[in-house]
Structure 1
Amino acid sequence: MTLEQPRGAVLAEEGRLPPERVALVDLLDRLLAGGVVVSGDLVLSIADIDLVRISVRALIMSVRGPDEE
């Protein structure tokens, strides 16, 4: 990779990225159409003693209305 060539162009040449640009809105639309699962854990501790543990799992996806095709 040279300094003149952007990273996206290098990834497209390697076949790991489509050659055309994808807008952020289009990418978000594709993700929400299929659904995205977000998960995470949060642990609060003092002196290596776990006091609180919170686990979060969320499914985020778009919902079609009755008039959409």
Structure 2
Amino acid sequence: MTAPGPPRPVENLPERQVALIDLLDRLLSGGVVVTGDVVLSIADIDLVRISLRALIVSITEQNPSPWAVTSPQRGGHDG
């Protein structure tokens, strides 16, 4: 077994400003999963538990919306 060597110096990332819209575009192009749990309790007795899970992804031609809005056909009936 070898002894651990001296700690490596921490490498700082280059300081770079990123616009919020660019960050959102990059996140949404790949998709983001948001999860969370909320528990309401009194005297260590859980009364309400809410589990939240959401998938957020951008809609593109390659990844169409599952809730595509279809327009009603025109001329279907006289009126």
TM-score interval, smaller chain: 0.5 to 0.7
Which residue number in structure 2 is paired with residue 22 of structure 1?
18
Structure 2: gaps spanning 5 or more residues: 1-10, 63-79
Greater strand fraction, Structure 1 or Structure 2:
1
Counterpart-to-counterpart distance in 2, 1:41 and 1:30: 26
1:55 aligns with 2:74: no
Q: CA deviation at 1:20?
A: 3.8
Q: AA paired with 2:39?
A: V
Greater helix fraction, Structure 1 or Structure 2:
1
Q: Secondary structure at the match of 2:28?
A: helix
Aligned length in residues: 52
1:41 aligns with 2:41: no
Structure 1: gaps spanning 5 or more residues: 1-12
Q: CA deviation at 1:65?
A: 4.2
Normalised by the size of structure 1, how large is the TM-score? Answer: 0.65
Normalised by the size of structure 2, how large is the TM-score? Answer: 0.57
